[in-house]
Chain A
Amino acid sequence: MGLDIRIPLGVMFTLLGLLLTGFGFFSDPAIYQRSLGIDINLWWGLALLLFGAVMLGVGWRAAGGRTH
């Protein structure tokens, strides 16, 4: 099949996660009034990061298993 979809999935969500988490860290807390005082960028960014990392991990393991 050539391309394991988990790799692009993992890369995309890791990048999106990094962007959101970074933004969540440095943004003005005042903008979180609309999200009920929760820094949703930071927390959801971390969730995306985790998902991306899991996808990458699984994808790489599968790729490693095939070459051995």
Chain B
Amino acid sequence: MAVYFVFVLGVGYALRRHVKTSTDYFLSGRSIPAWVAGLAFLSANLGAQEVIGMAASGAKYGMATSHFYWVGAVPAMVFLGVFMMPFYYGSQARSVPEYLKLRFDEKTRGLNAISFATMTVFSSGISMYAMGLLLNLLLGWDFDTSVWLSAAVVLIYILLGGLTSAIYNEVLQFFLIVFGFAPLVFLGLKDLGGWQGLSARLAHVATAQGFAPQAWSSTWSQMGDPTSNPMGVEWFGVAMGLGFVLSFGYWCTDFLVVQRAMAAHSMSAARRTPLIAAVPKMLFPFLVIVPGMIAIASTQHTGASGFVLPQKADGTLNYDLSIPMMLSHYFPHGMLGLGLTALLASFMSGMAGNVTAFNTVWTYDIYQAYINRGASDHHYLNMGRVATVFGIGLSVAAAYVANHFNNIMDMLQLLFAFVNAPLFATFLLGMFWKRATGHGAFAGLLSGTAAAALHHGLSLPRGSVPGIKGGWLALLHAYPSEMAQNFWTAIWAFTVCFLVTLAVSLITRPRAENDLAGLVYSLTPRLRETDRAWYARPAVLGAGVLAATLLLNLIFW
């Protein structure tokens, strides 16, 4: 673990002398090779929520959790690389909100910038809070120690090297996470007698809860009806809600990830970034979901070495501890250090991603846009550093708030979900329909958010009490599960935003076409990528990635 910390800080220090302008600091001087940007793209998202949460879902819902990857993330990443990146990178926008300003207007950007900046600070705080609890449990570290220590490490390396340093560290973290968790999957599977043994045990888990035997080990076969799978959703909700609206919305518009691709050294590298990232992403279910499945199989139908998930105070299984508890069950001293370091690395990469996205959006889209225009580049570079300290400070504060008032955090996350749900409709119309206007986009975003809130207020997952889970206005519809409710909230928000943007755009005055060159699909010259071999072109890579994903869906059908 010490070796890792030395390297993390060393990379920041080594990169310090390369940071001279604000572009160096916020966009790595647009100089990162595609494979490095691609791995960072993945790693920024591979925070604690991902690792812990996906394993927990793997235990709760089984193999169907891989829909988050094989229906959601991978197709969205291909879409970003092939269709959307040309506008982000080509417009010379320095952030996602700035693209909104170029394409629409100032108010749309302001709305997006402010909600995004707030969200990053809170999610990095929540990540820190989760880490504090976990380290306390596993290593007996004090909550304060782990929060301040991790905040200090992240602060130092971002302060020194800016985005480049964050990206380089994310690459280190990526390999550490892969190398730290891969042996866990190997040992767990070996313990249960391979994939065969795992499915046989999962069949018992499924039938014990009244589902078909393959409910935990297949992706699509039980998706015909919401009552026949543990997730409580049907194929339409998965494909539209999770796949089209939520995943495309996240991967294609969240600056946290898009920033990594924007840092690439050329347009073709920027387009290849998400495509390269999609290849390992495709395989992640085996790394993060399968451990959860092993944990539940072993718990309910004891495995050879008798791993059992711990219980919460109320007697239910604590799914969140799948990975941490398996680490300490299967790894001897030595490997255990590597595994815990990998876990720590995942927390830090998630935090660093939020912080670098925050300092950029704050400096370019809030400070430069509204507070102090036209200052020197040096001034903005310093502002970025101040924003880094400030952002981390706020995250620490958020971690403490989360520690004391858990409900506030739940409410905030819910609020962000409402704000984010309609975003993809705005980008889709903005990029592919030249008639879409700023007033339309703004009205669409607001009404989409309102629609999400309204839908949430009128529906409830079965078996919950009205309140934070929904139904706070009236109860019109009960969903079989929280997952189903989320997917449908997203579908509603997207549809309303899409229709309102369409309607308002048609009655407001469009912008002149030559203002929109490079920002809208029909007004941008087609890119001809002739400098690369045919197999390295984005469209070909994208098609290859999609074909492989389809194959995975079929194998685990």
Q: Is the CB of B335 within 8 A of A20?
A: yes
Enumerate chain B residues within 8 angstroms of A12, measured Cβ to Cβ. 3-4, 7, 172
> Are A35's CB and B332's CB within 8 A?
yes
| Chain A residues in 8 Å Cβ range of B334 | 19-20, 23-24, 27, 40-41, 45
Partner of B175, one of A9, A34, A36: A9
Question: Are B335 and A51 touching (Cβ within 8 A)?
Answer: no
Query: Do B11 and A35 touch (CB < 8 A)?
Result: no
CB of A31 closer than 8 Å to a CB of B = yes
Q: Which residues of A in the span 11-35 have a Cβ within 8 Å of any Cβ on B?
A: 11-13, 15-16, 19-20, 23-24, 27, 31-32, 34-35
* A-side interface mostly: helix
B175 A40 Cβ-Cβ under 8 A: no
How many chain B residues touch A (Cβ–Cβ < 8 Å)?
35
Contact B15 A2 (CB under 8 A): yes
Task: Report whether B172 and A9 are in contact in the complex, using a CB–CB cutoff of 8 Å.
Answer: yes
In the complex, what distance in Å separates the CA atom of A67 from the CA atom of B4? 30
Given A2-B15, A31-B333, A35-B335, check contact A44 B172 (CB 8 Å): no
Of B183-191, B393-401, B487-495, B524-532, the stretch lying at the interface with chain A is B183-191
Partner of A36, one of B10, B164, B191: B191
Chain B residue with Cβ nearest A15: B3
Contact A8 B329 (CB under 8 A): no
B421 at the interface (CB under 8 A from A): no
The CA of A9 and the CA of B175, in the complex, are separated in Å by 9
Looking at chain B's contact residues, the main secondary structure is: helix
Shortest B219–chain A CB gap in Å is 29
Interface positions, chain B 123-145, Cβ under 8 Å from A, are: none
| Bound Cα distance from A60 to B153, whole angstroms | 29
Q: Can you name the residue of chain A whose Cβ is closest to the Cβ of B341?
A: A16
Residues of A within 8 A of B338 (CB): 16, 20, 44
User: Once the chains bind, are A8 and B10 in contact (CB under 8 Å)?
Assistant: yes
Taking beta carbons and an 8 Å cutoff, which residues of A are in contact with B? 1-3, 5, 8-9, 11-13, 15-16, 19-20, 23-24, 27, 31-32, 34-36, 38, 40-41, 44-45, 47-48, 51
B-side residues, CB < 8 A to A, are: 3-4, 7, 10-11, 14-15, 17-18, 29, 31-33, 36, 164, 168, 171-172, 175, 179, 183, 187, 190-191, 265, 304-305, 329-335, 338
- Residue contacts A-B, CB under 8 angstroms, 26 given: A1-B18, A1-B31, A1-B265, A2-B17, A3-B14, A3-B18, A3-B168, A8-B11, A13-B179, A19-B3, A19-B334, A20-B338, A23-B333, A24-B334, A31-B332, A34-B305, A34-B330, A35-B330, A36-B190, A36-B304, A36-B305, A36-B330, A40-B183, A40-B332, A40-B334, A41-B334
